[in-house]
Amino acid sequence: MRAITYSKYGPPEVLGVREVDQPEPKDDEVLIRVHAAEATKADCEMRSFKFAVKWFWLPLRLAVGVFRPRRQVLGGYFSGEVESVGRSVTRLSVGDRIFGSAGIRMGAYGEYLVLPQCACVADKPDNLSHAEAAAVPLGGLNAVHFMRRAGIQPGESVLINGAGGSIGAHAVQIAKSLGAEVTAVDSGIKQDFMRRLGADHCIDYTKEKFTGSGRRYDVIFDMVPGSSYSASIRALNPGGRYLCGNPRLSVMLRSVLTTRFSNKTASFAFARETREELLALKEMIEAGKIQAIVDRVYSMEGAAEAHRRVETEDRIGAIVIDIGGSEIPA
C-alpha cells in the first residue's frame, strides 16, 4: 500500500510517499481503508520533534525513537471505510463508513489502517464528506472534553484563547450551543471566521491582551502554551474555571494550589478520546450545532506542503490529506 512516511526527524521535506506493507488485522481488529486524514500540529511536532510544551521531551523521545522514529507513518485522525474484520469483531462490519482517532498507534497517513474494535471510532455523520469528517475528531473530542469539564451554564461568559485553532474553533461552537456568551482570542485574520462560528466578541492578540481589558469571565479555556497563568486567573470571576489544553509543568503545579486555596478552579486534565464523546459529536454535527471546518485538502504527494500550512498558523480550519485521490475538490 502507499503511505506518507518519514525515516528521520526534520522539516516537512522529510515526508515522502512510498510503498509499505499493508497491515493485517488480528482477531479483535478491523482493517480500515482510509479516505482522509487530518494533518495536525501534533503530527508536525512528532515529525520535527519540536514541542511547544517541553516537559515530556525526554520520555517521549525514548518512547518513539531516540535517533529516528520507530513508527514512520503519522496520522491520528481520519475518516474511512471498514475493509475487513477479525473473526471476533462484533461492533463493526465490512462497509461501515467511520471516522475517529487512531490514538498512539497513528498510521492514518497510509491507505490502510488497523485498529482494535474498541478504538475511538463511530459511524461517519451522514452530512459530511470524508474530508470534512477527518477534520472533526481532534478538535471536536478535545473541545467536548474541556467544555464538559467547564460545566458551562446558559448565560455564562466564556473566553477561548486560541479560538482559531482546531480545538478552539470546536470549543467556540460547543460553548455557544450551551448558551454561553463567547469571547474568541486569536489573530486578526481569523476574526471573521470566529464570528461565523458564533463568537460574540473577538480579540486580536497581536493588538491587545485579553488579560488587560479589565473584563472578567466565568470560564477561560486556554490553548496557548505561553499564556500568563496568573493574569488568566485574575481575569476570572469568583467561582470561575480555568482550563488549560497545553499545560507547562509550572501550570500543572500551580493549578492544584489555585483550586485548593482560592475560590477559583484550574484544570489541565487531558482528553480521553472516548467513543461516547465521538457519538456526542456526531449528534451535534447531524443536528447542525457544529460544522466541520476545512481550510484545504492536499494530495498525499502534497503532505510536506500540508505540514508547512499547519505550521504557519495562517490556516482557517483543518488541513486534510486526501488518502486515495477521491476527496480533493475538482
> Is the pLDDT confidence value at 91 over 90?
yes
Please write the tens of the pLDDT for every residue from 199-245: 999 999 999 999 988 899 999 999 998 899 999 999 999 999 999 99
Name residue 33's beta-bridge partners.
81, 112
> Is the pLDDT confidence value at 141 over 80?
yes
Please write the tens of the pLDDT for every residue from 165-197: 999 999 999 999 999 999 999 999 999 999 999
Please write the tens of the pLDDT for every residue from 41-69: 999 999 998 876 666 666 666 667 777 89
Please write the tens of the pLDDT for every residue from 290-317: 999 999 999 999 999 999 999 987 889 9
Domains of the chain, CATH where assigned:
2-136+292-322 (3.90.180.10), 145-267 (3.40.50.720)
Smallest CA-to-CA distance from 222 within 206, 212, 208, 236 is with 236
Please write the tens of the pLDDT for every residue from 26-40: 999 999 999 999 999
- Write down the pLDDT at residue 61: 67
- Write down the pLDDT at residue 225: 85
In order, the DSSP letters of 148-216 are: HHHT--TT-EEEEETTTSHHHHHHHHHHHHTT-EEEEEE-GGGHHHHHHTT-SEEEETTT--GGGS---
- Write down the pLDDT at residue 330: 43
> Is the pLDDT confidence value at 83 over 90?
yes
Q: Lowest mean pLDDT: which of 45-59, 241-255, 257-271?
A: 45-59
Retrieve residue 138's grid coordinates: 481532534
CA-CA distances (angstroms) from residue 152 to 134, 174, 219, 223?
A: 27, 10, 8, 17
- Write down the pLDDT at residue 8: 96
- Write down the pLDDT at residue 77: 98
Residue with cell 471573521: 192
pLDDT band at 106 (very low <50, low <70, confident <90, very high): very high
Q: What is the mean pLDDT of the chain?
A: 93
Mean pLDDT of 120-130: 97
Compute the C-alpha angle 236/186/125, nearest 5°.
Answer: 100
Name residue 37's beta-bridge partners.
78, 321
The stretches of 26-77 forming alpha helices (DSSP H) are: 41-48, 57-64
Percentage of the chain exceeding pLDDT 90: 83
- Write down the pLDDT at residue 55: 62
> Is the pLDDT confidence value at 107 over 50?
yes
Percentage of the chain exceeding pLDDT 70: 95
- Write down the pLDDT at residue 307: 98
Between 15 and 104, name the one with better pLDDT: 15
- Write down the pLDDT at residue 70: 87
